[in-house]
């Protein structure tokens, strides 16, 4: 049974909006046809319960419709699983119960989406003054996934890999020439051993992080956008710390060039985030 009013269902990194008929993953809209979306909504409404195949048949097709029901429903479920990254053998979302039906496994949150009702009321009773814009942190701080363009998956992956190689080179070069780095730090800050400790610790922590991201992108890991966004606060602090590394070369390259290089490196963490979200958009649109 379809919801009587627009509803947004949330489960994991996914969000299903019955008003627009859209399924989104980490804010990125996925391609999903109408019938698979209808089945998803029925399963979400009855999360944890068994929904019989007969109930789904009544939802999708009127009683006087002649269709190969079993084959069509199997196709719909397979498409739904494909979009969710799920499998029948090891289900995370949709479980098949032989000769009974299907059950949605994850807990589901839902909230009303009454924007359409609100728009109608506003048209009938227009406000005297325009409403204040909603505060949206993504509009002011970070790019929202829907604002990003769709770019070739290979191009995005190559750029992201180059960034990881760059950081990995920083860490390895600093550790390989640690005595020279210590001399530069002593010249700049005196005998501040704690700075050397921070540099060594951050480099040792950064190497496995970069190797993980390199392998995740190289092997096209699923849900990388969700995993990277969870890592983003930690990698952001790490990357901003290493954005200061050009100042170690200031005596050789000059203060102006060191400032320019640092300014560019300060932006790189945000570029990584955008590339990961663009990669996700490219994957779901292919």
Is the pLDDT assigned to residue 10 strictly greater than 50? yes
* CA 66 – CA 14 distance, rounded (Å): 33
Note the pLDDT of residue 145: 64
* Domain covering 7-111: architecture: Orthogonal Bundle (1.10)
Q: Is 195 exposed, middle or buried (0-12, 13-18, 19+ CB in 10 A)?
A: middle
One-letter-per-residue 3-state SS of 213-257: HHHHHHCCCCCHHHHHHHHHHHHHHHHHHHCCHHHHHHHHHCHHH
Average pLDDT, the chain: 81
Of residues 133 and 204, more confidence is placed in: 204
Write the Ramachandran bin of 254: left for phi over 0, alpha for psi from -120 to 50, otherwise beta: left
Domain boundaries, the chain: 7-111, 145-284
pLDDT > 90 in the chain, percent: 36
Note the pLDDT of residue 2: 45
Helix (H, G, I), strand (E, B) or coil at 110: strand
pTM of the model: 0.54
* CA 245 – CA 201 distance, rounded (Å): 15
State pLDDT tens for residues 159-200: 999 999 999 999 999 999 888 888 888 877 776 788 889 989
């Amino acid at each position: 049974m379809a919801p009587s009013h627009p509803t947004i269902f949330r489960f994991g990194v996914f969000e299903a909006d019955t008003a627009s008929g859209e399924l989104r993953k980490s804010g990125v809209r996925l391609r999903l046809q109408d019938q698979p979306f209808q089945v998803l909504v029925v399963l979400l409404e009855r999360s944890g319960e068994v929904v019989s195949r007969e109930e789904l048949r009544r939802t999708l097709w009127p009683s006087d419709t002649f269709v190969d029901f079993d084959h069509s429903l199997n196709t719909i479920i397979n498409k739904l699983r494909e979009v969710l990254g799920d499998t029948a053998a090891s289900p995370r979302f949709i479980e098949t119960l032989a000769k009974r039906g299907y059950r949605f496994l994850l807990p589901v949150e839902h909230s009303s989406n009454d924007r359409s009702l609100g728009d109608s009321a506003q048209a009938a009773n227009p406000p005297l003054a325009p409403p204040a814009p909603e505060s949206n942190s993504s509009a002011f701080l970070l790019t929202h996934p829907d604002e990003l363009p769709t770019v070739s998956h290979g191009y995005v992956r190559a750029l992201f890999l180059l960034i990881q190689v760059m950081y990995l080179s920083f860490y390895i070069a600093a550790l390989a020439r640690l005595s020279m780095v210590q001399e530069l730090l002593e010249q700049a800050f005196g005998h501040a051993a704690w700075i050397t400790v921070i540099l060594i610790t951050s480099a040792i922590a950064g190497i496995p992080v970069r190797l993980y991201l390199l392998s995740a992108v190289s092997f096209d890991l699923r849900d990388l956008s969700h995993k990277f966004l969870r890592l983003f606060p930690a990698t952001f602090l790490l990357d901003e710390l290493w954005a200061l590394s050009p100042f170690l070369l200031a005596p050789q390259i000059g203060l102006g060039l060191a400032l320019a290089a640092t300014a560019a490196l300060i932006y790189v963490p945000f570029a990584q985030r955008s590339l990961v979200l663009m990669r996700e958009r490219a994957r779901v649109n292919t």
